[in-house]
Amino acid sequence: HNVDGKPMTLCVHRKGATRAFPPGHSEIPPEYRAVGQPVLIPGDMGTNSYVLVGTEQAMGEAFGSTCHDAGRVMSRGEIFDSLWAGDGTSSENIVDVYIGYLRKKLSPPEDFAAEIRTVRNKGFVFSDPGDTPRPAGSAT
């Protein structure tokens, strides 16, 4: 992997993510080599499904990782713990600040494929405009 312009051997731990190689990569089966490794992100009866492919840009920026938890609702505490817990300087209020920044960047919603929704008493979720997000584990 390339890290800050230097080739390095790394062990990449992907939590909630899947690897996707770009077109031409030797580890992709020949039938996919021309387009890149496909990644399926399943939806359910209330959300869309997606088919993505790996890119060179993704290899450089995220070691070829792509999400696979589409539609998952995360509480403020879960977001805080995954991003800032242990830094000793932040409180959970920082989540609201960054959610606000992201919402401004993603508006107007018709210009973007996703928006951030608040799910009452549950948390936040990225969703397609018009989708009705549901908490993980809820009935469909």
Per-residue pLDDT at 14 exceeds 70: no
At 105, which helix (H) or strand (E)? helix 93-105
Tokens 């242990």 sit on residue: 86
54, pLDDT greater than 60: yes
Quote the tokens at residue 84: 């800032």
**Taking a C-beta distance cutoff of 8 angstroms, is the pair 71, 43 a contact?**
yes
pLDDT higher than threshold 50 for residue 16:
yes
Q: pTM of this prediction?
A: 0.45
Residue 20: CB atoms within 10 A of its CB come to: 21
- Residues labelled catalytic: 68
Any long-range contacts for 54-57 (C-beta under 8 Å, 24+ apart)?
54/19, 54/20, 54/21, 54/22, 54/23, 54/25, 54/28, 55/20, 55/22, 55/23, 56/22
Output the pLDDT for position 76. Answer: 85
Domain regions of the chain by residue span: 2-67, 76-127
Task: Return mean pLDDT, the chain.
Answer: 74
The count of C-alpha atoms lying within 13 angstroms of the C-alpha of 125, restricted to the half-sphere facing its C-beta, is 21
Q: Give the pLDDT confidence score for residue 4 in this predicted structure.
A: 81
pLDDT in tens, 101-118: 888 877 766 665 567 778
Query: At 38, phi and psi to the nearest 5?
Result: -75, 145
Segment 20-52, tens digit of pLDDT: 888 998 888 898 889 888 877 766 666 677 777
